[in-house]
Structure 1
Amino acid sequence: MGSSIGANIKGLREQRGWSQARLAHEVCRASGVIGEPVGRQEVSRWETGRRTPREWLTFLAAALGVSVDALKTPQTAAEPPLPTLADFLPEGDPLSPLKARTGRRVGMVQVDDLQQRVHGLRLADDVLAGGDLIRPALRELRSAVKLYREGSHTSDVGRQLLIQIGELAQIVGWIASDAGQHSEAERIYRLGISAATQAEDRTLAGNIAGSLAYQLSNIGRESEGLTLAQAALNDAGADAPPKARALYLDRVAWAHTKAGGIENGQQAIRALGEAGQALSEDSEGAESPPWLYWVDAGELRVMEARVFTEIRRPLRAVPLLREVLSEYDATHTRELALYMSWLVVALADANEAEEAAAVASRVIMLAADIPSERTAERVCFILRRLREFADVPEVAELLAATAA
């Protein structure tokens, strides 16, 4: 079994483009242990089969975004290295049309077909994680850019193609981010912003910019995230559909929350109120782009609950999260696990350690088979948070089980 684990570790590490030293660092980060008890040489021993990870197996799986069973199971054939957007796009400006277009004539039939595939990918992301979707998503983006650059089309068809490329870049960037490919996601988002801007679709450009702002806020670039989230809101203008403005304001709220500080916390709460007001202006007859289908009062409650959790207001956060989770679609496993992880933190802040441990157990169970960097990080985070209650029997039992 040791040799198959070693081969799996090496294959997954290389798919991510990580060095052995980087994997060692990520394992230590996932474990929450102070210092660097695992180094490059230890990873080398695991990969060559000279040593079995044993007590580090859970943290290896979390760092690599896979289940423990996936690490143990022999693979019949190694997956090829994860492609990047650069593998699919030409040098220079990827949206620059070829001087001599040799491709087929492109009309609205092809645009409609692309639109359906984009929406299908968006729906798939509701139930599948980034690790499952990244390859087909990148292939779709490559094909769309190739169609625009090489095909022969009218200016109106070209604009519609750019809009679909922008929509596709937003969802592919989101998928790449969920898979832990943050640099790749940023490149994809910027491609999408360029496409939407060229198509003069300010609402779409604001959505893509807001998605990038959300990522920046979550990976330690809070100041950039806040600036970009605010710019996305401002640039979209007052004419943006109510649902779009609600979404932009949601992201501004989150960016303020991640920036920290009392004043930013107050700004976050204010932005949440404005988001709710914007959504209340939406009506059945109001026109909104199809990609806003998921923005509703429930999603605003989710963000409100997360904000109150982050600013340590558990009395507000816990009831909201319980309400959201009681109504949430169980087929959206990744989001369910993520939202439950915030409930764990809010319960811990409210000194409800026993219930926090029970919810954390379910989060870990759900996250075990989800190839999502975000869920893996949240599992590590809630386990570190619960160590403050290690003297509570339910928590001690959970920590012992995960350590084993």
Structure 2
Amino acid sequence: MSRSTWHPAPHEVLRTTGRLIAVDAAEGATAALPAARAAVRRMPRYGGGSDLAAALAELYEVVGWILFDAGRHRPARSFNAHAYDLARRSGDRWTGRLVLLNHSMLLAHLGRPRAAFETAGRVRGPRPLPARVDSLVLVRQAHAAALRRGDREARTLISRARSRFLDGGSRHDPAWAWWVDEPELIGHHGWVLARLGAYDRAIPLLHRAATAPGPSYRHLFTAQLLAALAGAGAWRDAEALITATAPGAGRISSARTTAQLRRTAAHLRTGPRVPAALRDAAVFLLESL
């Protein structure tokens, strides 16, 4: 039987999705790529009914996220579009909203802040969103505003995101909102401030997020912390962070994270005011990566 005519049960698709999420959270996107590719090869592109279509939308949303964090941007865009189409066909608005939030992040990463801002805004509808989801919309828009150098707007949006998160969870939260927690919001707050060059406020927030337990992809906050320390000229703290990070850097399975670490280490290796000891540490980090 061909893949085009075989229709798995929705619960089988959801089990596959759950396994992908577990691998990504524990080991990172690059480690999850083989399982994501195997799932794509095995599962049909479209479902025979709304329940199957909704389950496939969830699966392909996760595949799109893994591809993005693994640095595979073009296929990530394709799977985002396909997941959104499946969610729309099946009436699964919550998965559709998550796809839009993921795609906003991808657009910001690709240097398209206006499109990122507008895509995040499409998540809202006539009814108010639960606090956690609304806070994530505001986070995505704050990053986009920061990239457009909208200093005041970005600060306002990220502060509103923190305030909305503090409104707490509700029974209306979608199942995927489990990862929208305090360290996530704190980390993004610090990252937005670092984008604006407000390193004195960004560094403590990024440190709190980077040292909190959580999914593997939050190594990204460590990379952003190092970039902020370098931007602030906090040489001793940057050297200490590299010393702590470099031994395990080769096991980081997020292309976004390793790319940021490489950029910062390359800058520190050649920076005119960087102390010799920190230059040596930067070389060690590059070798470890």
When the two structures are superposed, what TM-score results if normalisation uses the length of structure 1? 0.64
Counterpart position of 1:392: 275
Q: List aligned pairs for 1:1-400, cutoff 5 A.
A: 103=6, 110-145=9-44, 148-149=47-48, 158-232=49-123, 234=124, 236-258=125-147, 260-261=148-149, 264-283=150-169, 285-329=170-214, 332-336=215-219, 338-386=220-268, 387-388=270-271, 390-400=273-283
Distance (Å, rounded) in 2 between the aligned partners of 1:395 and 1:277 = 38
C-alpha contact 2:183 2:208 (8 A) present in aligned 1: no
Counterpart position of 1:153: none
Encode CA deviations 1:270-321: one digit per residue, 9 max, x unaligned: 22222223323334x5232221111112211110011111111111111112
Instruction: Give the fraction of aligned pairs with identical amino acids, expressed as a percent.
Output: 21
Taking a change above 3 Å as real, the CA distance of residues 196 and 147 of structure 1, as seen in their structure-2 partners, is closer
Taking a change above 3 Å as real, the CA distance of residues 190 and 400 of structure 1, as seen in their structure-2 partners, is closer
C-alpha contact 2:13 2:55 (8 A) present in aligned 1: yes
Shift of the alpha carbon at 1:396?
2.5
Encode CA deviations 1:22-76: one digit per residue, 9 max, x unaligned: xxxxxxxxxxxxxxxxxxxxxxxxxxxxxxxxxxxxxxxxxxxxxxxxxxxxxxx
Shift of the alpha carbon at 1:120?
2.7
In structure 1, stretches of 5+ residues that fail to align are: 1-87, 91-101, 150-157
Shift of the alpha carbon at 1:347?
1.8
C-alpha contact 2:187 2:210 (8 A) present in aligned 1: no
Shift of the alpha carbon at 1:389?
5.4
Q: Secondary structure at the match of 1:293?
A: helix
Shift of the alpha carbon at 1:357?
2.1
Distance (Å, rounded) in 1 between the aligned partners of 2:275 and 2:86 = 54
C-alpha contact 1:212 1:225 (8 A) present in aligned 2: yes
C-alpha contact 1:203 1:244 (8 A) present in aligned 2: no
Number of aligned positions between the proteins: 285
Encode CA deviations 1:147-203: one digit per residue, 9 max, x unaligned: 724xxxxxxxx2222222221122111111122211000000000111111122323
Encode CA deviations 1:198-223: one digit per residue, 9 max, x unaligned: 12232321210110110111122333
Q: Which amino acid aligns with 1:244?
A: V
Encode CA deviations 1:228-287: one digit per residue, 9 max, x unaligned: 22223x3x44343322222222111122222x32xx22222222222223323334x523
In structure 2, stretches of 5+ residues that fail to align are: none
Q: Which amino acid aligns with 2:276?
A: P
Taking a change above 3 Å as real, the CA distance of residues 190 and 391 of structure 1, as seen in their structure-2 partners, is closer
Higher deviation after alignment, 176-185 or 223-232? 223-232
Shift of the alpha carbon at 1:390?
5.0
Taking a change above 3 Å as real, the CA distance of residues 364 and 237 of structure 1, as seen in their structure-2 partners, is farther
Q: Secondary structure at the match of 1:145?
A: coil
Taking a change above 3 Å as real, the CA distance of residues 349 and 251 of structure 1, as seen in their structure-2 partners, is same
Q: Which is higher, the Rg of structure 1 or of structure 2?
A: 1
C-alpha contact 1:203 1:240 (8 A) present in aligned 2: no
Q: Which amino acid aligns with 2:33?
A: I
